[in-house]
Each structure stands twice: as structure tokens, then as C-alpha cells.
Structure 1
């Protein structure tokens, strides 16, 4: 798990070029390059823009590290549910 956490951090830092936030272009690149095999529509600029707007809690037009972690949480939960055959409503 330690390696996975380091990868998440270094991927964000590398894509943001050391800045605290990902701009629109950087976020599109990160989603397309890193999540394309487990998410749909990652090549669609409009779909990724809609995703970015949903993550952008402070409405600054950028994705912070905390907002990026929210995306990772959604993707991990979705992947876990699909692998286990469960749904969010199942007890």
C-alpha cells in the first residue's frame, strides 16, 4: 500500500509540475493517461471537464490534491464494487 500512496502523490506532483493544483489541461492529461483503462470517456474533453467541475469544491477551475484524492476514492470504490459484485446499496 505504501508504494500505491507514493505513486498517487508522485503522479499528481509530476502532472502538476510541482504546483498545488492541476489546471484543465493537466487534469485532462492525468485522467487520460492514468485512468483510461478503468474509467469511461477519458478521451472526451467534455466528459473530463464535467468530472473536473464535479470535483472542484472551491470552484477555482483547478483540481487540488485533496480534490484529486476524492476522484481516487470514487474510482477505488467503484472498482472495489465491480470486483466484489456488490452495489453501494447492498448491506
Structure 2
């Protein structure tokens, strides 16, 4: 990967995903993973509009359980990308199924 600034929208999106993950992963414990608390903070601050009530302890626990593929109690970057990818697919499906407004 080049050290130059991204030039395309997709490169910007990728850089933002990386920066967002590390903004939260470095707050406690392992700097390369999200603890349950870091995940909750990220979900609330960054994905609240798409995930609904990320303040709900059971909802955060379910997301953590679903994402933590290797069952180590933390979410690594790969597991985080799976979440973002799945949400992106769900949003795409939602907006494709939504009827267009006629003017």
C-alpha cells in the first residue's frame, strides 16, 4: 500500500474504516482488537443510526458473540470488516427494495 493520500472514494472509505477501528481499539487492552466496551462505544458512536439501540447490553452482547468468530472475547479488524460489510449489504438491499418516489 502506498503512503500517498487516497485519491478515490473507495480508497477514502477503506482508510476511514481502518482509522475508525483504531480510534476505538486503542482505548483499552490489546491495541489491535476491540474489547466489549470498545465495541459498544464504536457501535453507539459510529453505527447507531444503522444498528438501533446499541446502548442495549443484550444487543451489544449479541453483536459481540456474532462477530467474535474465534471466540477470544475480542473483535479483531477482520471481524470488524465482516460487520461493516454485512451492514453495507443490508443497506444496499434495503434501498434497492424501497420503491422510488414519483414526483
TM-score, structure 2 as length reference: 0.79
Q: Comparing 41-50 with 68-77, which one deviates more in the overlay?
A: 41-50
Gaps of 5+ in 2: 1-9, 99-103
1:82 corresponding residue in structure 2: 94
Structure 2 residue 74 is the aligned partner of structure 1 residue 62:
yes
Report the number of matched residues.
Answer: 86
Matches within 5 A, 1:32-71: 32-71=44-83
Q: Which has the higher contact order (CA 8 A, sep 6+)?
A: 1
Matches within 5 A, 1:18-37: 19-37=31-49
Instruction: State the match for 2:22 in structure 1.
Output: 13
Please list the CA deviations of residues 20-76 of structure 1 after superposition, one character each: whole Å capped at 9, or x if unmatched.
100010000000100001122212121011111011011000000000011001100
Structure 1 unpaired stretches of 5+? 87-91
Cα distance in 2 between the residues matched to 1:33 and 1:80 = 21
Hey, which bits of structure 1, 4+ residues long, moved more than 4 A? Answer: none
Aligned CA-pair RMSD: 1.4
Distance across 2 between alignment mates of 1:81 and 1:60: 31
SS at 1:13 equivalent = helix
